[in-house]
């Protein structure tokens, strides 16, 4: 696990380094991170996207010291992002054992996104077929939400600008998201979808308590994109989430992993956090698709848009 000390909250990510064809390769949270080694110094470049959409690279330079990676990092970017340097440390990853005996905690309430947590890794390790599909992606025309179509739970859960409300009972947890005014039901009683249950943007979710950790598996996802970058999600994908409530009950953290071997060589990982905020008001989500189509009509691009219909789900 790598942790960056920044001007705000520390950022964390899972660093994997493996030998491939006589050279070392690295990944951060499932995404490729170009690596070079010279003598006892390792350099790792991690592309990231900030909440405003700017893309930048953190260059981590370090060495092994008493079984731990330590070093400094700098930010490389032509965009208006925080270029303050910092330090980083990497320690061997040991999964935290989770008890199997359920010990539910109260996560009900209104939650607003907390800053930081992970690297916001930008690019992922796509399969050749997914890379070919992604090479032709045009965000301003193919992104679902620009035409008021749900981007799906995989993308929604990663966005940092919207609050949500959680309703909790013994057999179900319900998420009410402000974005797209979407509703998500997490079944705790092993409810399974009927045979005719359709694939859809929110999928079908079953959850269980492992100690105080809420573990959720989501299937029946309709084909979509993972984020603004436009990396695809197949109907065979499943999303795995682990939610953990802080001891004071005021902070909720999640580790979200997308398993989709049709499109990803390694599962993309996201880490998110929210803080309890009962004063936040959740507003109706307003979206006008006419503004999207009207602009294309005025610019004479409607024919181009319809010709690209196979690229949209």
Output phi, psi for 34, to 5 deg: -50, 135
30-51 tens-digit pLDDT: 999 999 999 899 999 999 987 7
pLDDT value at residue 310: 81
Average pLDDT, the chain: 92
Model confidence at 216, pLDDT cuts 50, 70, 90, reads very high
Cα 195 from Cα 201, distance rounded (Å):
18
Residue 258 predicted with pLDDT over 90: yes
For residue 161, give the nearest of 201, 110, 114, 107 by alpha carbon. 114
Q: Give dist(CA 266, CA 279) in Å, integer.
A: 39
Quick check: 117 and 275 in contact, CB under 8 A?
no
Residue 259: the pLDDT is 98
pLDDT at 256 over 90: yes
Eight-state DSSP code of residue 105: -
Rounded-to-integer distance, Cα 119 and Cα 3, Å: 9
Closest by alpha carbon to 281, among 168, 107, 163, 176? 163
Give the pLDDT of residue 90. Answer: 94
Return all residues near 158 (Cβ < 8 A) that are at least 6 apart. 227, 256, 270, 272
The confidence score (pLDDT) of residue 230 equals 87
From CA 75, how far away is CA 86, in angstroms rounded?
9
pTM, two decimal places: 0.93
In the predicted model, what is the mean pLDDT of residues 98-117? 91
**Residue ranges of domains in the chain, CATH in brackets:** 2-90 (no CATH), 109-276 (2.40.128.20)
**3-state secondary structure at position 130:** helix
pLDDT of residue 224: 92
Residue 286 burial by CB count (10 A; 0-12/13-18/19+): exposed, middle or buried? exposed
**188-208: pLDDT as tens digits:** 999 999 999 999 999 999 999
Q: Does 215 have pLDDT greater than 70? A: yes
pLDDT of residue 160: 66
């Amino acid at each position: 696990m790598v942790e960056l000390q920044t001007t705000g909250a520390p950022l964390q990510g899972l660093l994997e380094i493996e030998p491939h064809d006589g050279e070392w390769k690295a990944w951060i949270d499932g995404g490729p991170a170009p690596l070079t080694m010279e003598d006892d110094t390792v350099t790792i470049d991690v592309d990231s996207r900030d909440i405003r959409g700017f893309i930048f690279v953190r260059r981590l330079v370090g060495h092994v010291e008493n079984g731990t990676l330590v070093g400094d990092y700098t930010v490389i970017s032509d965009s208006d992002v925080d270029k303050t340097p910092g330090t980083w440390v990497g320690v061997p990853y040991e999964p935290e054992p989770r008890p199997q005996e359920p010990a539910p905690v109260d996560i009900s309430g209104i939650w607003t996104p907390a800053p930081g947590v992970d690297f916001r890794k930008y690019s992922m390790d796509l399969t050749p077929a997914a890379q070919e599909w992604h090479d032709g992606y045009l965000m301003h025309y193919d992104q679902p939400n620009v035409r008021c179509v749900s981007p799906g739970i995989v993308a929604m859960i990663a966005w940092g600008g919207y609050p949500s409300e959680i309703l909790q009972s013994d057999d179900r947890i319900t998420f009410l998201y402000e974005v797209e005014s979407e509703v998500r039901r997490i079944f705790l009683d092993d409810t399974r979808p009927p045979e005719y249950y359709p694939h859809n943007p929110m999928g079908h979710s079953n959850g269980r308590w492992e100690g105080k950790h809420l573990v959720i598996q989501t299937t029946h996802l309709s084909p979509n994109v993972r984020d603004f970058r436009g990396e695809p999600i197949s109907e065979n994908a499943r999303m795995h989430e682990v939610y953990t409530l802080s001891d004071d009950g005021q902070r909720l953290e999640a580790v979200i992993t997308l398993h989709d071997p049709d499109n990803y060589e390694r599962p993309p990982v996201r880490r998110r956090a929210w803080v309890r905020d009962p004063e936040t008001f959740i507003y109706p989500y307003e979206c006008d698709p006419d503004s999207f189509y009207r602009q294309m009509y005025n610019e004479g691009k409607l024919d181009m848009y319809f010709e690209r219909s196979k690229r949209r789900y």
